[in-house]
């Protein structure tokens, strides 16, 4: 009896399953179409290039992102009078 790699066994298991699929093929097509719509089409309408349109240089973009990420920490420190707990 020949011993095979466990990765080869897993690969063969899935390939055999995908070859014999009947209903699953249409389900996979539906899943791919839904993913294309979610990530492709919705990105065009709802996720605009905010940083690219408002800032001209990478340095300005980086400064804006840094200030937004640390804004809550800065506000927290200023309300406590700069004291660390």
pLDDT in tens, 2-46: 667 899 999 998 888 888 888 888 888 999 999 998 888 888 888
Q: How many CB atoms lie within 10 A of CB 51?
A: 13
Q: Are residue 41 and residue 71 in the same domain, yes or no?
A: no
Q: Are residue 15 and residue 35 in the same domain, yes or no?
A: yes
Q: Which of 66, 70, 69, 68 is nearest to 58 (CA)?
A: 66
Q: Are residue 42 and residue 58 in the same domain, yes or no?
A: no
Number of structural domains (the chain) is 2
d(CA 34, CA 85): 49
pLDDT at 2: 66
pLDDT over threshold 70, residue 56: yes
pLDDT at 23: 84
């Amino acid at each position: 009896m020949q011993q095979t790699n466990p990765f080869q066994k897993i690969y063969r298991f899935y390939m055999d399953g995908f070859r014999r699929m009947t209903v699953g093929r249409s389900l996979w097509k539906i899943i791919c179409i839904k993913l294309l719509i979610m990530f492709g089409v919705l990105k065009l309408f709802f996720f605009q290039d905010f940083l690219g349109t408002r800032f001209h240089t990478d340095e300005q973009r980086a400064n804006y992102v840094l200030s937004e990420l640390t804004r809550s920490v800065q506000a927290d420190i200023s309300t406590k009078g700069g004291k660390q707990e």
